[in-house]
């Protein structure tokens, strides 16, 4: 059995610190074979930098996925060409830096990851993800049936449609972007695990990881304002997958909500 941890959007320093503090413990506790982290908001709440990418990889992430904020830090463009474990959405036009797919070897065999961005209410509007996924999945299945898709999108309907479209062809379709963990985790009829949104890794006393008061002021006044990342206690939210590595079919999907503080060492 292949055990995969998928963590939703990392928000700023609180989210990064929580991952660095907890991943070693979670990897040991759950005997994890593979870890995927969506890092597109890891740099002060917008984008990701080369340094942060390296920190998350060193903490234990196998692959880092992203979304619509991938280009927010200008230094990331050349870095994408040198670090294949950092993905950008598959459906950018040809010539965009980096890649939207990767296959990595594990002790349980090869695992493929695909990063795709939905289109409804998303900016920029990218190429249609459905036919591009057909091509990517067909190519990837020549090497492995163990395929995880990060579906980065706004609407539940489009993410469910992506999951239903890929049912039986990939191991899991896991939604990101809205930062709110949904309660619809399930395994579709043909063996694909699904959740509309895995949630976020970030401060819980916040509005989607941002400080509460500036966002309330913006809603009340309609005046643009800075929206800093909130301080305080962070939680890690995502899903834990168990996959039959010989068939690629999901056996179990379980929501994860873990406090970000490192566990205390028992007194000796």
Q: 2-259 is classed in which CATH architecture?
A: 4-Layer Sandwich (3.60)
Domain ranges of the chain: 2-259
Question: For position 267, what pLDDT does the model report?
Answer: 39
Closest CA to 98 of 132, 134, 65: 65
CA atoms within 13 A on the CB side of 3: 9
Give the contacts of 15 (CB within 8 A, at least 6 positions apart): 9, 41, 42, 200, 201, 202, 203, 209, 234, 260
The DSSP symbol for 40 reads T
Marked catalytic residue, from 69, 177, 179, 235: 69
- Whether this prediction's pTM lies above 0.85 is answered by yes
The pLDDT tens digits for 81-132 are: 999 999 999 999 999 999 999 999 999 999 999 999 999 999 999 999 999 9
Residue 123 falls in the annotated catalytic set: no
What the block records as the tokens of 172 is 């899991």
Question: For position 265, what pLDDT does the model report?
Answer: 44
Task: Give the per-residue SS3 of 143-199.
Answer: CCCCEEEEEECCCHHHHHHHHHHHECCECEEEEECCCCCCCCCEECCCCCEEECCCC
- Strand order across the 147-152 sheet: 101-106, 109-117, 147-152, 172-176, 193-195, 186-187
Is 90 exceeded by the pLDDT of residue 258? yes
Look over the chain and give the mean of its residue pLDDT values, rounded to a whole number: 95
Is 70 exceeded by the pLDDT of residue 6? yes
Question: For position 266, what pLDDT does the model report?
Answer: 44
Confidence of residue 240 (pLDDT cuts 50, 70, 90): very high
């Amino acid at each position: 059995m292949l055990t995969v941890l998928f963590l939703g959007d990392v928000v700023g320093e609180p989210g990064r610190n929580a991952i660095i503090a907890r991943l070693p413990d979670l990897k040991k506790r759950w005997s994890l074979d593979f870890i995927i982290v969506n890092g597109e908001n890891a740099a002060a709440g917008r984008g990701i930098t080369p340094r942060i990418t390296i920190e998350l990889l060193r903490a234990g992430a196998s692959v880092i996925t992203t979304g619509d904020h991938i280009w927010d830090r200008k230094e990331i463009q050349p870095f994408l060409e040198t670090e294949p474990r950092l993905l950008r959405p598959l459906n950018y036009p040809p010539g965009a830096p980096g890649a939207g797919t990767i296959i990595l070897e594990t002790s349980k065999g090869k695992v493929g990851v695909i990063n795709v961005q939905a289109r409804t209410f998303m900016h920029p509007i990218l190429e249609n993800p459905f036919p591009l996924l057909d091509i990517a999945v067909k190519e990837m299945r020549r090497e492995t049936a163990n395929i995880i898709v990060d579906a980065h999108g706004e609407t539940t309907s489009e993410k469910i449609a992506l999951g239903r479209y890929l049912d039986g062809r990939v191991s899991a379709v896991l939604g990101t972007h809205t930062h709110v963990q949904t309660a619809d985790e399930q395994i579709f009829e043909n063996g694909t695990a699904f959740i509309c949104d895995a949630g976020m890794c970030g401060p819980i006393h916040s509005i989607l990881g941002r400080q509460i008061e500036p966002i309330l002021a913006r809603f009340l006044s309609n005046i643009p304002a800075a929206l800093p990342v909130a301080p305080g206690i962070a939680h890690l939210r995502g899903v834990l997958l168990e996959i039959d590595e010989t068939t690629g079919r999901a056996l179990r999907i379980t929501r994860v909500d873990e406090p970000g503080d490192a566990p205390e060492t028992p007194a000796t």
